Structure 1
Amino acid sequence: MDPVEVFNALPAARLERDLLACCAAPAWGAAVIAGRPYDSRAGILAAADAASRALRWDEVRQGLEAHPRIGERAAGDSPEAAWSRREQSAAARSADETTRAALIEANRAYEERFGHVFLIFASGRTQEEILAAARERLGNDEATERAVVADQLRRIALLRLEQVLDAL
């Protein structure tokens, strides 16, 4: 069976669970589910992209709650924990102790400044690249950073949705 057909046929409760693993903002998953049936993979991804862009800041914050601090190993055996470990794997392999310590400090400073975890699309990035981005983003004002965070969450959700579709 075609993955799009499977996606369209999944019971809403099962699909909601899968989508919440991609993005923990319930409004995002509800919007994607509400768009069924889709005629193509591209249609699913376009709807998910639009749903991400429509999230209010409080909904983005809900999505952030499922993400561990960058550089920390996600605990548990949930799909989102496994994805997080995989997404950060290149960074974990690339860092020395000095960079790890600097990233811990950057995380602390970021959380103190903005009140939430530093979120970045980490797939394929080294810890040095992530550290540089964290330091750069510490200079953002609140509105600019909220837009960056929302975009990073969108990119992560779409990557994870692609993985859900690949597994169907």
Structure 2
Amino acid sequence: MCETTEKDLYAVLGASPSDSLQQLRHRYRQLVLQFHPDRLGGEHSSEAESGMKKFLEVDAAWKILGDQNSRWKYDLQRRAQELKQDWPVESTFCLEDMTWNQDECVYTYCCRCGGGFSITEDEVEDERQRTQQEDGGEEKHRGVVICCDTCSLSVFICSIDRKAKMLTCQK
């Protein structure tokens, strides 16, 4: 998945932006107790690793949302991102979450309607270059909105401009 700064931090805590600080703290404490590494018994299983990853995500989300100043800044950034969108977005996920089709040189993701979202390697590269030109060569959090091929849902694909593991297309 995306890095913590790219995820909806409220969703990480299982909360909403309208929740009070006390409600956020309560959710944080519940999740910390559930996923704390000491509770996992130091196992090296995939379950223990995913629990540790979840624990770190929850802790990072709380560090931002638990502080009034940083929460306010996060909410402003979140709202600014929503205002930049031309149409409603169903969800956000990363390029790495999509399935790579080597034969067609395209990333795909299944929609809940049964259709799918797709973006070609060339479109990814074009978006990455456009973003770098706009940012003066700096790599910042960017992405692209793509629509389902059968319904009206759209998704935001993050990490387009990051140093993604781009698979080379054999032409």
- TM (norm. structure 2) is 0.29
Answer 1 or 2: higher relative contact order, Cα 8 Å, separation at least 6. Answer: 1
Larger fraction in strand: 2
- Rg larger in structure: 2
- TM (norm. structure 1) is 0.29
